[in-house]
Structure 1
């Protein structure tokens, strides 16, 4: 079934798990789309489901003003096991974007296991960062296939958009020497992306996942005061390396990821890009560079690809292709 066939059907019913900065941005990305319709969302304190479609702004206001989408008047439910309850309450959701923090490092895998155990069949998409977190998802590939779930992992910006670009760029070469991903992120207010910023802090030399997760908002603010709001990240544990290795592009130790996050300015501190260096069949050494436009935000570069991969996952699922796929294996499909 191709994308035109999907477009002729009813909109794909999708849900968003996690309603921080990334989850809220995901709902805004969906607003102008006609091929997908937001019908479900969940956060730590509750969930909301309406098969007729949700109003993103109503969900955002409920979360902002009262702390949970569970307070949405129509379809909102407060729950301390919101994901499990939503899965049971909304069996007709075809796909979910897991816009969840991966702190602790085992959290995403534990969520996936809830889906496997529930009997739900559909498409899941994540924007995981850490290699070790993706390895836990990879270990569940046989269970996902048996459960009838099509799982798309590493489908944000990096890993995701830039990993896919590296996969395409690699085709010019007979051997790959290096893949270097460098990102610049500008956020006017770090508190809008608290989980994302904590994940970034966990990559800094003097921190790890546990210590970053344990930091209070005041401690994060104090750290950012000391660095003038700048986080400089080098040699990050980023799952681009695992994805490119699984795709047969190069060994994981040939992949490096780093960047700069400015938590006080929306303007990017540097242009996000991926550089793929290799040798052609004529023996020439060359580098392909793919650069993202500075005007595109982190949210645009994460959520857009995530829904593109969700649409691709729906196509695979309708063909009976279940199990685990990465952004380096499958092309995303543009969501109109």
Structure 2
């Protein structure tokens, strides 16, 4: 990791000096997560939401986009490209937005279907010569590993990329990394999540990614399922998806951070697609041996009232702010939620 501007990273640097004006933020993907991201950004003083893209178009306004009008336009017409006067319809929305918009950092609220999609988006940014901060909420270990293979290219391109920065991986991975400090040896990290949503159609891509983890399913099969097929599956399960031993990037992220081997990490949970109430409390349990030889378990539990969107978007923008701090110091490359502390966005 290089300090290209020669700044001593041990020097105290205030938030005010790094954020003398609002950070211009874009959101790629405008489904349930992207729309929630827009609402999370609305009251923030340190970040200004100026750009959004979906698969049919994009919207850009250097003075800031209005979440309510963008969401209403998307829900009524299927794309922010229809937004007047700042929208543009396009079959190459991401590429065109990168080239047109002046944006400091993007939250990639994109469906990672196929599994190579996020890495291909990162390449688009590099090929366009764009420099700034990217943050994602990737789930799968194999998807994060693809980005890990791009570390040197991202660094050379002047991009600071924060990966796995949602809830899990993300918030719970970071909590596990902190909890691990009490121990001399980590025996296990067990992440269990409960998600409740009133209507699966509000988070179609997320639910398809979850279905891909079910026995007998994979990414390709889930991606190719029609909405009717998804609904039929949910009818069979009464709207409940029970997920065990998922391929979740918490494992590789904790391994990279030197916490424990990836086979010590397990992730699973329950998703209720018909009820906003969580079917169980989301938590991470870190079990280990202290230097005195005691075996103990730390448990960090999220409040049941916090939604999936709150637990994904909040950390994502906290990590985006941390990434901006790194980028302004000339520190580029790929980082995970287990390596860097997020900064709270005012």
- TM category, shorter: over 0.9
Matches within 5 A, 1:181-196: 181-196=191-206
Distance in 2 between residues matched to 1:3 and 1:102, nearest whole Å:
33
Deviation at 1:206? 1.1
Distance in 2 between residues matched to 1:243 and 1:100, nearest whole Å:
20
Match of 2:10? none
Distance in 2 between residues matched to 1:255 and 1:3, nearest whole Å:
35
The answer to whether the 8 Å contact 2:185/2:290 transfers is yes
Structure 2 unaligned residues grouped into runs of 5+: 1-12
Q: Deviations over 1:64-98 (max 9, x none)?
A: 011100011021000001000000001x2000000
TM-score with structure 2 length normalisation? 0.96
Q: Is structure 2 residue 153 aligned with structure 1 residue 143?
A: yes
Match of 1:84? 95
What is the number of residues matched between the two proteins?
334
Q: Is structure 2 residue 62 aligned with structure 1 residue 62?
A: no
The answer to whether the 8 Å contact 2:192/2:269 transfers is yes
Q: Is structure 2 residue 45 aligned with structure 1 residue 31?
A: no
Match of 1:131? 141
Match of 1:162? 172
TM-score with structure 1 length normalisation? 0.99
The answer to whether the 8 Å contact 1:183/1:260 transfers is yes
Distance in 2 between residues matched to 1:290 and 1:71, nearest whole Å:
43
Q: Deviations over 1:27-78 (max 9, x none)?
A: 0000111110100000000000011111011111111011100011021000
The answer to whether the 8 Å contact 1:160/1:328 transfers is yes
Deviation at 1:10? 1.3
Q: Deviations over 1:192-211 (max 9, x none)?
A: 00000000000001100000
Distance in 2 between residues matched to 1:223 and 1:4, nearest whole Å:
51
Q: Is structure 2 residue 233 aligned with structure 1 residue 223?
A: yes
Match of 1:259? 269
Q: CA RMSD in A?
A: 0.6
Distance in 1 between residues matched to 2:216 and 2:279, nearest whole Å:
23
Query: Residue 213 of structure 1: SS of its match in structure 2?
Result: helix
* Higher alpha-carbon deviation: 274-283 or 70-79: 70-79
Distance in 1 between residues matched to 2:108 and 2:195, nearest whole Å:
21
Q: Deviations over 1:286-315 (max 9, x none)?
A: 000000000000000000000000000000
Residue 329 of structure 1 is aligned with which of 319, 339, 345?
339
Query: Residue 51 of structure 1: SS of its match in structure 2?
Result: coil
Match of 1:310? 320
Q: Is structure 2 residue 14 aligned with structure 1 residue 2?
A: yes
Deviation at 1:4? 3.2
Which 4+ runs in 1 deviate beyond 4 A?
none
Match of 1:112? 122
Query: Residue 193 of structure 2: SS of its match in structure 1?
Result: strand
Match of 1:268? 278
Query: Residue 100 of structure 1: SS of its match in structure 2?
Result: coil
Distance in 2 between residues matched to 1:156 and 1:203, nearest whole Å:
18
The answer to whether the 8 Å contact 1:48/1:75 transfers is yes
The answer to whether the 8 Å contact 2:175/2:300 transfers is yes
Q: Is structure 2 residue 61 aligned with structure 1 residue 50?
A: yes
Query: Residue 219 of structure 1: SS of its match in structure 2?
Result: helix
The answer to whether the 8 Å contact 1:2/1:315 transfers is no
Residue 223 of structure 2 is aligned with which of 213, 221, 244?
213
Distance in 2 between residues matched to 1:2 and 1:259, nearest whole Å:
39
Match of 2:259? 249
Distance in 1 between residues matched to 2:15 and 2:264, nearest whole Å:
35
